[in-house]
Amino acid sequence: MKLTGSKILLESLLLEGVETIFGYPGGTVINIYDDLMDSSIKHILTRHEQAAVHAADGYARATGKVGVALATSGPGATNTITGIATAYMDSIPMVVITGQVPTGLIGNDAFQEADLIGITRPITKHNYLVKDVKDLARIIKQAFYIARTGRPGPVVIDLPKDVQMAITEFEYPEKVELRGYKPTFGGNVRMIEKAVKMMLAAKKPVLYVGGGATLTDAHAELMALAETLQMPVTTTLMGMASFPKRHPLSLGMLGMHGTYYANMAVTNSDVLIALGARFDDRVTGKISTFAPHAKIIHVDVDPTSIKKNVRVDLPIVGDLRDVLKKMNKKLAEHKDEVVQENEAIKPWLKEIAAWRKDHPMSYKHSKTEIKPQFVIEKLRELSNDDAIVTTEVGQHQMWTAQFFDFTQPRTFLSSGGLGTMGYGLPAALGAQAAFPERQVIDVSGDGSFQMNSQELATLVQYRLPVKIVILNNNFLGMVRQWQQLFFDKRYSQTCMELPIDFTKLAEAYGATGLRATKPEEVEAVIKKAFETPGPVIMEFKVSREENVMPMVPAGAGLNEMVLAS
Amino acid sequence: MRHTISILVENEFGVLTRIAGLFSGRGFNIESLSVAPTLDPTLSRMTIVTSGDDRIIEQVNKQLNKLIDTIKVIDFTGEDFIEREMALIKVTAEETTRAEILRICDIFRGKIVDVTPKCYTVEVTGSPVKVNAILDLLRPMGIKELVRSGPVVLGRGPKGWKGN
């Protein structure tokens, strides 16, 4: 069958199981958009290319499938950059297709030309400029394979207009042949046995769980390991929803705004088992005082993550879920030792319980002001267990991480690595497109929300009933907090001065706007929002100078937490 | 510490930039880099000289391996290998110094590849240490211009990389 490049693209997407894509048309993708009218692929038109990529990212995080975004050349393509970098930092499987000027014009400073391959090289797992339509099917096959295997990540396909129009025989390859790409899946059996022995002998073990647990859907295996050995579990922001916070072994999040008891447990541990985590500086604090007494076991699919920031005593390269399965299987052969271990770590669990009792995660309640933490707690109370929560970046993100008890995997979508303000709304859009029936909530601040607020239009147009929480303090709160604590309260450019009426903004787009200004109104507003069909903005006028606490100041060790400001 | 690393890569558009970008983006040093296609024209072989402590070099090796276009990476440090670099040296040749330049050239098994009334161009091949040595000897005569290829390396003995 002879097809044009643009038809080959759409046929290949269908063969990869793609149902929904997010994009924005333009001159160099007009052929693709023309063919899209006759395709069964659903296209969601965002109001900005950055949002299209974040939406594809949210879709991927919520479903585990590869997200797909489409944009035109030049400015369309450069608008995708923040979205691609966000996905790259958090290892999200994604394919971004961009139009490019015709091959004959590449390098000529043509209209809407940008060297997207050059620009995206450091923020993609791999990228392709398609110069010949004969290579297109193979490249798409490879792109999807690379995006979802090993350590997942975004792949860019830059597709010149003349290649979209050129005709060739279409045959979708069955196999991928990449001699330079052989991700490790299995995990070395002998290393796994050694790790099991170390865990059995540990007196003060801690499981430190990262985004790898989410990406490999390893929550059941993780639960089995933690419960068998009665090991306490702390997660990173990215690992958040892979272990239920209400579980007695859960220590919540560790790191800069983690719990006191998680950070104390890590600091005093004798064996630290890092599972699909990469020892980010927001997690470790000062490296020299990070887990100083611990032997470190590090399981990661990406060898470059191992020994990058910290010393590792036992590295295991492999798919986390597979490694955990093998560990659990091995443990089943050591029933007696497991019983002994359970007994031996009881004092450790008591020690942790004492830290938890001394300094639980808490905040000062108020009868007159709405505390942002209170809104998050109420939100949890009134939302469904399988609600998907996205966040932007800043104080509201940390409060969500601290006070929303996630119980199910893939229900917390947040930009951890890059820390992208403006991520949450389009990510919620993507997640809602994947799960039209589930509750999807974007928790936002007034600063972050305004970075992609144009996507309200997309929500209304496609009837995506995302519920948006704006914790409005009229500040860029996280930066203001740093200025308060470390810059003598000199609030340089962090006060947003102009108060926005977000309820009116919602109405302008045809969505619903609700507002609470007193604590007693919070519950009613949330209930009303969940009862209202379609997208809703809930604006909460929160106490303006509330801080995210506890906190490890930048450059300090995890054991030097500041508990209150 | 100085490390010499050979990398077998796909002979494709943009691969050199990927490697160079990796080094600059992650703050690794490149002292020299040379690249050319292998017997199999779909592959290129690069030789990179870099430096750093053990932790950095481990990262360099892992990060290079992680690139999709990289097929194999060998760090020759601690191995038995042959290292050769070529230099072309344009040196002032006065009546009084011509004989000395020829003698030095002879000692290093170099060749004079261009002669003009005012200067000689010397071609010399050897380890970087040897190239440095001849430069030290020629410097007093007046080196007008110099180009070095950066070293290329090959492991000693029959062992080799398949297919190239």
- Cα–Cα distances in angstroms (integers) from residue A245 to residues A207, A452, A532, B140, in the given order: 14, 30, 29, 75
Hey, of B68, B71, B72, B73, which one would you mutate to test binding to chain A, going by the most A CBs within 10 A of its CB? B68
Average per-residue pLDDT for chain A: 97
Residue (of A308, A279, A311) closest to A296 by Cα position: A311
Chain B's closest residue to A303, CA to CA, is: B62
Cβ under 8 Å to A: B residues 76-105: none
Instruction: Look at residue B162 in the predicted model and tell me its pLDDT.
Output: 57
Q: Where are the beta strands (DSSP E) in A64-106?
A: 67-71, 94-100
pLDDT in tens, A414-442: 999 999 999 999 999 999 999 999 999 99
Q: Is the pLDDT of residue A261 over 60?
A: yes
Residue A155 · residue A98 · CB < 8 Å? no
- The single-letter code of the amino acid at A332 is A
- Active-site entry in A111, A487, A493, A527: A111
- Active-site entry in A398, A478, A538, A561: A478
**Given pLDDT bands bounded at 50, 70 and 90, which one contains residue A497?**
confident
Is residue A84 within 8 angstroms of chain B, CB to CB?
A: no
pLDDT in tens, A450-473: 999 999 999 999 999 999 999 999
Question: Are B59 and A178 within 8 A, CB to CB?
Answer: no
Residue (of A467, A428, A475) closest to A448 by Cα position: A475
- The single-letter code of the amino acid at A65 is K
Instruction: Look at residue B163 in the predicted model and tell me its pLDDT.
Output: 45
Residue (of A497, A499, A447) closest to A471 by Cα position: A447
Six token digits for residue A534: 């379609």
Is residue B66 within 8 angstroms of chain A, CB to CB?
A: yes
Residue A270 · residue A295 · CB < 8 Å? yes
Residue A493 · residue A465 · CB < 8 Å? no
Has A49 been annotated as catalytic?
yes
Per the DSSP assignment, residues forming a β-bridge with B83 are: B153
Question: Are B59 and A308 within 8 A, CB to CB?
Answer: yes
DSSP characters for A539-557? EEEB-TT----SB--TTSB
Question: Are B21 and A122 within 8 A, CB to CB?
Answer: yes
- Active-site entry in A11, A16, A22, A49: A49
Residue (of A433, A441, A447, A384) closest to A414 by Cα position: A441
Instruction: Look at residue B160 in the predicted model and tell me its pLDDT.
Output: 72
Please list the alpha-helical segments (H only) found in chain B: 15-25, 54-66, 98-107, 128-138
> Could you tell me what percent of chain A has a pLDDT over 90?
98
Has A325 been annotated as catalytic?
no
Instruction: Look at residue B11 in the predicted model and tell me its pLDDT.
Output: 94
**Total residue count of chain A as it appears in this document:** 565
A157 Cβ contact list (under 8 Å, min separation 6): A95, A96, A97, A98, A127, A128, A130, A139, A140, A143
Interval A486-490 mean pLDDT: 96
pLDDT in tens, A50-101: 999 999 999 999 999 999 999 999 999 999 999 999 999 999 999 999 999 9
Q: Is B147 exposed, middle or buried (0-12, 13-18, 19+ CB in 10 A)?
A: exposed
Residue A120 · residue A156 · CB < 8 Å? yes
Is residue A182 within 8 angstroms of chain B, CB to CB?
A: no
**Given pLDDT bands bounded at 50, 70 and 90, which one contains residue A504?**
very high
Residue (of A69, A55, A58, A53) closest to A18 by Cα position: A69
Residue (of A464, A326, A441, A340) closest to A385 by Cα position: A441
Six token digits for residue A276: 């699909």
Is residue B24 within 8 angstroms of chain A, CB to CB?
A: no
Give the whole-angstrom CA distance, residue B61 versus residue B108: 34
Which DSSP category does A520 fall into? Answer: G
Please list the alpha-helical segments (H only) found in B67-145: 98-107, 128-138
Q: What is the pLDDT along chain B (164 residues), one digit of tens a residue?
A: 899 999 999 998 899 999 999 999 999 999 999 999 999 999 999 999 999 999 999 999 999 999 999 999 999 988 889 999 999 999 999 999 999 999 999 999 999 999 999 999 999 999 999 999 999 999 999 999 999 999 999 999 887 765 44
Is residue A555 within 8 angstroms of chain B, CB to CB?
A: no
Chain A residues whose beta carbon lies within 8 Å of the beta carbon of residue B68: 125-126, 146, 178, 180-181
Has A478 been annotated as catalytic?
yes
Could you count the other beta carbons within 10 Å of the beta carbon of residue A49?
27
Distance from CA of B24 to the nearest CA of A (A): 10
Task: Please report the sign of the dihedral spanned by the C-alpha atoms of residue A517, residue A522, residue A526, residue A527.
Answer: negative
Hey, of A103, A129, A149, A304, which one would you mutate to test binding to chain B, going by the most B CBs within 10 A of its CB? A304
Question: Are B66 and A308 within 8 A, CB to CB?
Answer: no
- Active-site entry in A112, A408, A461, A484: A112
Has A111 been annotated as catalytic?
yes
Residue (of A211, A249, A209) closest to A229 by Cα position: A249
Interval A194-217 mean pLDDT: 97
Is residue A180 within 8 angstroms of chain B, CB to CB?
A: yes
Identity of the residue in B14, B21, B71 whose CB atom sits nearest the CB atom of A180: B71
